C-alpha cells in the first residue's frame, strides 16, 4: 500500500459546467512521486471518505498533481466533498499514484476515446504522447460545449491537430462515428477508452467488429456494471497473516465481513473499479466481479469489495 502524503490545495477553479480542477502541491515545494499516464490518486476527503481520481496533467511534471472532478448527481459524497468542502490552502492526504490504465509506449499509434469526465486519464496520455512526439489521435464526446473540460487546450494549443471534439447537442451528422474513427486508425494501433459504461461498451464493440484483438483494447470505468449473478453462495475466507477464518454469507461481501472482524483493509470505490483493495490469492479460485484486473493478474489477485469465491474456501495474503 502506498504511503500517505499530505499535500496542499494550491489552486481550485471551475473549468466547465459542474467540473473543478484541483492542483495539489507539496507544502514544502518538494518534488512529488512520479506517475505514469492513466494513473490515479486516492484522496482522503472530509467526512472520512476515500475516493480515487485520475491525474490529468503531463507525467513529466513533478511539482504538482492535477485532478478534474465532476460533481456527480449520484455522488456517494466524494465529488460533493471536493466541490463544496475543499478550499485553496487546505491540506489533504493522498495515496498513490497507482496505475491500472497504462499506455503501451511500444504501439505505433494511440487511438484515444473519452466520454465526459473520462477525459481525465486520457488527457494525461495525450499530453505525454504529444510531448514525446508520438503518434496519437483523440475523440472526445460531451453533452455540450459548456460541459467540455479542457476545451481551449484541445482546440487552440499544440494538441488541437490531433483532437476532435463532439457534442450531444449537435446534429446527428456532426456526432462521433465510432466505426469510421476506429477504421481510420493506423495498423497496429492501441485503443484507449474511458467514460460512461455505455460509451465504453459501444467503443469496444465497434473495435471488435473490425477485428481488433483484446491485447490492443484498453478501458477504464468510473462506475461498475452490474455482474450477472445466478445466486450467491456462502464461502470460507482464510486470512493467512491475520490467522483469521471468516464465513462470508450470501448477502455480504468479503470486504464487509473483514471490516466487521476488525481487519485493516484499504478500500475506496467498493465496486471493483479502483483496485485499492486488491489482495493476493494463496489458494482457491476467485469468482471475479471486478473491472480493474486483467486476465494475467486475475490468476493471483482478488478484489474483496465485490468478488466472491468459486471454491468453498479462499485463502488470501492478509
Sheet with 279-283, side-by-side order of all strands:
244-248, 235-239, 313-316, 279-283, 301-302
Tell me what pLDDT residue 228 has. Answer: 47
Q: Which residues pair with 279 in a beta bridge?
A: 302
List all residues 6 or more positions away from 48 whose beta carbon is below 8 Å from its beta carbon: none
216 and 247 in a single domain? The answer is no
Task: Tell me how many helices (H) and strands (E) the chain has.
Answer: 7, 18
Angle at 108 (CA atoms; ends 212, 118), nearest 5 degrees: 65
pTM for the predicted model, two decimal places: 0.79
Tell me what pLDDT residue 49 has. Answer: 85
217 and 114 in a single domain? The answer is yes
Domain boundary among 221, 243, 270: 221
208 and 178 in a single domain? The answer is yes
CA atoms within 13 A on the CB side of 116: 17
Tell me what pLDDT residue 226 has. Answer: 46
Q: What is the CATH number of the domain that holds 149?
A: 3.40.50.80
248 and 216 in a single domain? The answer is no
In angstroms, rounded to a whole number, what is the distance separating the alpha carbons of residues 182 and 164? 13
Tell me what pLDDT residue 73 has. Answer: 77
Tell me what pLDDT residue 169 has. Answer: 85
130 and 75 in a single domain? The answer is no
Measuring CA to CA, which residue among 223, 221, 219 is closest to residue 113? 219
| Count of domains observed in the chain | 3
Position 226 in a domain: no
Instruction: Please report, for residues 14, 66, 100, 120, the alpha-carbon distance to residue 54 in angstroms, rounded to integers and kept in the order given.
Output: 17, 9, 10, 6
Measuring CA to CA, which residue among 63, 119, 122, 53 is closest to residue 86? 53
9 and 66 in a single domain? The answer is yes
Residues of the chain with pLDDT under 50: 1, 226-228, 230
122 and 210 in a single domain? The answer is yes
115 and 209 in a single domain? The answer is yes
131 and 177 in a single domain? The answer is yes
Tens-place pLDDT, residues 152-197: 999 998 999 999 999 998 887 789 999 999 999 999 999 999 999 8
In angstroms, rounded to a whole number, what is the distance separating the alpha carbons of residues 304 and 263? 12
Q: Which residues pair with 140 in a beta bridge?
A: 114, 165
Q: What is the CATH number of the domain that holds 296?
A: 3.10.20.30
Tell me what pLDDT residue 30 has. Answer: 96
Q: What is the CATH number of the domain that holds 51?
A: 2.40.30.10
Position 230 in a domain: no
Tell me what pLDDT residue 105 has. Answer: 93
Tell me what pLDDT residue 295 has. Answer: 77
Domain span including residue 293: 235-316
Amino acid at each position: 500500500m502506498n504511503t500517505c502524503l499530505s499535500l496542499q490545495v494550491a489552486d481550485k477553479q471551475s473549468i466547465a459546467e459542474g467540473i473543478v480542477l484541483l492542483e495539489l502541491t507539496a507544502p514544502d515545494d518538494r518534488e512529488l512521486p512520479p506517475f505514469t499516464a492513466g494513473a490515479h490518486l486516492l484522496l482522503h476527503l472530509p467526512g472520512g471518505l476515500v475516493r480515487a481520481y485520475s491525474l490529468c496533467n503531463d507525467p513529466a511534471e513533478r511539482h504538482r498533481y492535477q485532478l478534474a472532478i465532476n460533481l456527480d448527481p449520484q455522488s456517494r459524497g466524494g465529488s460533493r466533498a471536493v466541490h463544496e468542502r475543499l478550499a485553496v490552502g487546505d491540506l489533504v492526504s493522498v495515496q498513490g499514484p497507482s496505475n491500472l490504465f497504462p499506455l503501451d509506449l511500444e504501439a505505433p499509434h494511440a487511438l484515444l476515446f473519452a466520454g465526459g469526465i473520462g477525459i481525465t486519464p486520457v488527457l494525461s496520455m495525450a499530453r505525454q504522447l504529444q510531448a514525446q512526439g508520438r503518434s496519437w489521435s483523440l475523440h472526445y464526446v460531451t453533452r455540450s460545449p459548456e460541459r467540455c473540460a479542457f476545451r481551449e487546450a484541445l482546440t487552440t494549443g499544440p494538441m488541437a491537430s490531433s483532437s476532435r471534439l463532439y457534442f450531444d447537442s449537435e446534429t446527428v451528422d456532426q456526432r462521433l462515428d465510432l466505426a469510421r474513427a476506429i477504421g481510420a486508425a493506423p495498423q497496429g494501433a492501441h485503443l484507449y477508452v474511458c467514460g460512461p459504461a455505455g460509451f465504453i461498451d459501444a467503443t469496444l464493440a465497434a473495435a471488435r467488429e473490425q477485428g481488433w484483438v483484446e491485447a490492443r483494447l484498453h478501458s477504464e470505468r468510473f462506475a461498475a456494471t452490474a455482474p450477472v449473478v445466478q445466486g450467491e453462495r456462502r464461502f470460507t475466507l482464510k486470512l493467512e497473516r491475520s490467522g483469521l477464518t471468516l464465513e462470508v454469507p450470501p448477502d455480504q461481501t468479503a470486504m464487509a465481513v473483514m471490516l466487521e472482524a476488525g481487519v485493516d483493509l484499504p478500500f475506496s470505490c467498493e465496486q471493483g473499479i479502483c483496485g485499492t483493495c486488491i489482495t493476493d490469492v494463496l489458494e482457491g479460485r476467485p469468482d471475479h466481479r471486478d473491472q480493474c484486473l486483467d486476465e494475467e493478474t486475475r490468476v493471483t489477485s482478488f478484489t474483496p469489495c465485490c468478488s466472491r469465491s468459486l471454491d468453498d474456501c479462499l485463502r488470501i495474503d492478509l
